[in-house]
C-alpha cells in the first residue's frame, strides 16, 4: 500500500465520520493555503472546499479578479452585506469540489507567469483532487474579471497546460465572468479612462504581448478547447465586457466550440461576481445548468 492510497483511506475515514454526524453533514471540508508550487509561498497556493463525503465530485477551479494586481483566493463574498462565503458553500452544496486559487500578481509577475500559475494549480488539482473526493478528470475553470481573462487564456492557448504535461481536453468547461480583455488590442486601443489605460498598458505592454494574451487569438477548431459559458453585465456597455464577450463568443462559434452567452440584467461588474452562489440568482442558475449539462454529456457520451 503506497502513501497516497493510505492518505486517501484516511481521508475517506474522515469523510465517513463527517457523514455520521448530521449537524456537520453539510459542512464542507476546508483545506487552506495548500501550496501548488515549490518552494511553498502564499502567492502560489490554493484553498480547497470539499463536500463532506463521497468521491468523484467534479472540480471547480475559481480564479479571483482584481486587475491582475489585486485580490485573493478568499475573496468569495466581496461586496455583499452578509458574511456568508457564498461561492464555496454554493458549489459544495451542489456536489462540487471548489478550489479557489492565488496566483502571483503584477508587478511581481507578467500575465504569462500568471496564466502559468493557473495551469500549475490545475496540474496540482489534477494530481490531488481525488484526496478531496474530487474527480481529477472533470475540471471546470471559472473566473471573474482579470480571473476570467486568465481562465479563457489557459483554456484556449494550449501552451500553458502543455508546460504542465496536460492537454486542453482535461478541462471540461470554462466560465469567464464579465471579462473585458479577451481581445486585448481593441480593449487597450479604445480605453478612454486614462488611469485604466495606463494601468492596462503596464500588464499588456506591447502589440506582441497584447495578442499573445488574447484568448481570441488562440481559438481554432480541433484543438480540444472546452465548451464555454460567458457571463457579462447587461446594463453597462461602457465597461466593454459585452463587446469583448461578443467578439470572443463569435470566434468560438466560428471554430465550432460550444458557447453560450448570458447577459445578466440588474448587475454591475462587482455584484455579478459577489452574487454568484446566491439561491435564485439567474447567473448562478445559468452556471449550474451549464456545469450540469457538461457533466451529463460526459457521463452519457452525448450532449
Partner 1 sequence: MKAALLLVLGCFALAAARAEPNLFPDVAYAQPRNEAQTLDIYAPDTGSHHPVVFWIHGGGWMRGDKADLQQGSDDKINRKPQAFTARGFVLVSINYRMIPTVTIMQMTGDVAKAIAWVHAHIQQYGGDPNSIFVMGHSAGAQLAALVCTDRGFLVAEGLDLKDVKGCVPVDGDTYYPELQLDLEPTIASANAQLLDFPDLIAQKSLSSVLHIFKGKPIPPFLILHVADHPETHTEMQSLILAEALREANIPVKVVACPGKTHDTLNADIGLNGDLATQSIFAFLAKQLKPGAR
**Residue whose grid cell is 494550449:** 158
Q: Which residue among 79, 205, 237, 266 contacts partner 1 (CB under 8 A)?
A: 237
Residue 189 makes contact with partner 1 by CB under 8 A:
yes
Stretch near partner 1 under the rule CB under 8 A, chosen from 16-24, 32-40, 93-101, 249-257: 249-257
Cβ proximity to partner 1, 191 vs 268, nearer residue: 191
- Mutual angle of helices 111-128 and 146-154, in 10-degree steps: 70
Burial (CB count within 10 angstroms: exposed 0-12, middle 13-18, buried 19+), residue 197: middle
Cα–Cα distance for residue pair 54/129, rounded to 1 Å? 12
Which residue, 5 or 192, is less far from partner 1 as judged by CB?
Answer: 192
The β-bridge partners of 29 are 50
Q: Residues 103, 30, 33, 134: what is their CA dihedral angle, to the nearest 10 degrees?
A: -60
CB of 214 to partner 1, least distance (A): 8
Closest alpha carbon to 124 in 187, 181, 59, 168: 59
| Residue 246 makes contact with partner 1 by CB under 8 A | yes
- The residue count for binding partner 1 (CB under 8 A) is 20
Q: Does 6 bind partner 1 (CB under 8 A)?
A: no
Site for partner 1 in 57-116 (CB under 8 A): none
Q: Determine which helix (DSSP H) or strand (DSSP E) holds 143, and give its type and residue range.
A: strand 134-144
278 touching partner 1, by CB under 8 A: no
Cis before 107? omega within 30: yes
Cis upstream peptide for 148 (omega within 30°)? no
Measured distance between the N- and C-terminal CA atoms of the chain, rounded to whole angstroms: 39
Examine residue 163 and tell whether it contacts partner 1 (CB under 8 A): no
54 vs 185, which CB is nearer to partner 1?
A: 185
Which range touches partner 1 (CB under 8 A), out of 31-39, 44-52, 186-194, 275-283?
186-194
Residue 216 as a binder of partner 1 (CB under 8 A): the answer is yes
Query: Is residue 235 near partner 1 by the rule CB under 8 A?
Result: no
Asked if residue 190 binds partner 1 (CB under 8 A), the reply is yes
Residue with cell 486614462: 194
- Binding span for partner 1 by CB under 8 A among 26-34, 77-85, 158-166, 246-254: 246-254
Which of 150, 177, 251, 287 binds partner 1 (CB under 8 A)? It is: 251
Cell numbers for 221: 477548431
Using the rule CB under 8 A, which residue among 27, 33, 207, 292 binds partner 1? 207
Residue in the block written with cell 473585458: 180
The answer for 109, left when phi > 0, alpha when psi is -120 to 50, beta otherwise, is beta
Stretch that binds partner 1, among 13-21, 166-174, 184-192, 225-233 (CB under 8 A): 184-192
Measured in whole angstroms, the distance separating CA 75 from the mean position of its chain's CA atoms is 13
Residues that bind partner 1 (CB under 8 A): 183, 185-186, 189-190, 192, 207, 211, 216-217, 237-238, 240, 243, 246-247, 250-251, 253-254
Amino acid at each position: 500500500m503506497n502513501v497516497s492510497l493510505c492518505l486517501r483511506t484516511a481521508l475517506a475515514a474522515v469523510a465517513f465520520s463527517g457523514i455520521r454526524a448530521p449537524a456537520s453533514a453539510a459542512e464542507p471540508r476546508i483545506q487552506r493555503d495548500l501550496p501548488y508550487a515549490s518552494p511553498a509561498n502564499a502567492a502560489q497556493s490554493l484553498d480547497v472546499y470539499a463536500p463532506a463525503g463521497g468521491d468523484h465530485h467534479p472540480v471547480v477551479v475559481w480564479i479571483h479578479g482584481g486587475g491582475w494586481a489585486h485580490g485573493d483566493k478568499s475573496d468569495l463574498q466581496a461586496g455583499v452585506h452578509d458574511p456568508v462565503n457564498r461561492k464555496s458553500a454554493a458549489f459544495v452544496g451542489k456536489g462540487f469540489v471548489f478550489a479557489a486559487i492565488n496566483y502571483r500578481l503584477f508587478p511581481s509577475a507578467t500575465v504569462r507567469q500568471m496564466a502559468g500559475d493557473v495551469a500549475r494549480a490545475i496540474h496540482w488539482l489534477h494530481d490531488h483532487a481525488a484526496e478531496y473526493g474530487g474527480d481529477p478528470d472533470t475540471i471546470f475553470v471559472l473566473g471573474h474579471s482579470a480571473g476570467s481573462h486568465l481562465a479563457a487564456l489557459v483554456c484556449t492557448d494550449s501552451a500553458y497546460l502543455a508546460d504542465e504535461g496536460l492537454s486542453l481536453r482535461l478541462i471540461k468547461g470554462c466560465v469567464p465572468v464579465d471579462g473585458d480583455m479577451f481581445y486585448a488590442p481593441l480593449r487597450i486601443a479604445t480605453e478612454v479612462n486614462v488611469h485604466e489605460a495606463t494601468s492596462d498598458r503596464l500588464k499588456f505592454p506591447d502589440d506582441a504581448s497584447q495578442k499573445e494574451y488574447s484568448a481570441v487569438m488562440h481559438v481554432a477548431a480541433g484543438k480540444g478547447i472546452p465548451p464555454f459559458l460567458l457571463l457579462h453585465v447587461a446594463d453597462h456597455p461602457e465597461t466593454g465586457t459585452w463587446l469583448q464577450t461578443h467578439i470572443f463568443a463569435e470566434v468560438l462559434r466560428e471554430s465550432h466550440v460550444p458557447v453560450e452567452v448570458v447577459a445578466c440584467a440588474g448587475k454591475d461588474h462587482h455584484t455579478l461576481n459577489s452574487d454568484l452562489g446566491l439561491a435564485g440568482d439567474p447567473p448562478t442558475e445559468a452556471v449550474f445548468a451549464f456545469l450540469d449539462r457538461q457533466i451529463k454529456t460526459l457521463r452519457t457520451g452525448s450532449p
